[in-house]
Amino acid sequence: MVFLRLGKIPGNKQSTNFFTNEKEIGVSVFEFKNNLPILSNLNQLNSFALRREEPAFICSGDVIGIGNDEEPLIKNIKIIKSINYSKEDFLKIILDKLNQAFLSKSGDLDLIDRDLSRVFHSVKRTKTCTICKIEIDEFDNCDCKSKKNTYKYTKGKEIHEYIYAGIKFTNPVNGFDTLMGWKNKVAKI
Ligand SMILES: [Zn+2]
């Protein structure tokens, strides 16, 4: 089994958890298959995006636990080779994964002044007018507002949007975990 490590191999063979600063029990890596890293949730995808400038190594090792992002933690790490990802390689891997992981997208690729080190999450809410029954963005007003003073809205739904390089992704496929951040389940063995 081979893995992708982004970043120098820590001297004490342990990775530091980004959220707690605590040492994890092994070196944090990505699974690597068919010449591609496996990015199986949004935390892993963000972790990959964040490390674009880091040295990259294909390595082997023994899995001894699971890190905060559900990524493998390995010991007895051996570097097989170092690899060079270009910015384009990184973008392609991330965008291909986002395209697989979400059912809907809108917007065009726009790299100007974009922070490409993570996917940005925003929550939009909707509301529905009780008179014309039209569902609109929570900060908008429907057209019947101008005609009646008694309009009312009922609470709509939350729409989670995940934005990367100008493209807005919505509707994650079943099984793709979009919860970001610290999950308090480091070093599951
Ligand atoms: Zn209305």
Task: Provide mean pLDDT across the span 155-182.
Answer: 91
Q: Which residue in 154, 124, 150, 152 sits closest to 139, CA to CA?
A: 124
Per-residue pLDDT reduced to its tens digit, 36-68: 999 999 999 999 999 999 999 999 999 999 988
pLDDT at residue 189 is higher than 70: no
Cα 126 to middle of ligand 1, angstroms: 13
Q: Could you tell me the pLDDT band of residue 148, with boundaries at 50, 70 and 90? A: low
DSSP bridge partners of 169 = 105, 162
The reported pTM is: 0.83
Cα 153 to middle of ligand 1, angstroms: 8
pLDDT at residue 183 is higher than 90: no
Cα 26 to middle of ligand 1, angstroms: 57
Cα 145 to middle of ligand 1, angstroms: 6
Per-residue pLDDT reduced to its tens digit, 13-40: 667 666 676 776 789 999 999 999 999 9
pLDDT at residue 93 is higher than 60: yes
Q: Which residue in 66, 28, 25 sits closest to 47, CA to CA?
A: 28
Cα 152 to middle of ligand 1, angstroms: 8
In the chain, where are the structural domains located? 2-85, 103-172
Cα 135 to middle of ligand 1, angstroms: 9
Cα 89 to middle of ligand 1, angstroms: 47
pLDDT of residue 150: 62
* 80-91 CB burial, b ≥16 within 10 A, e <16: eeeeebeeeebb
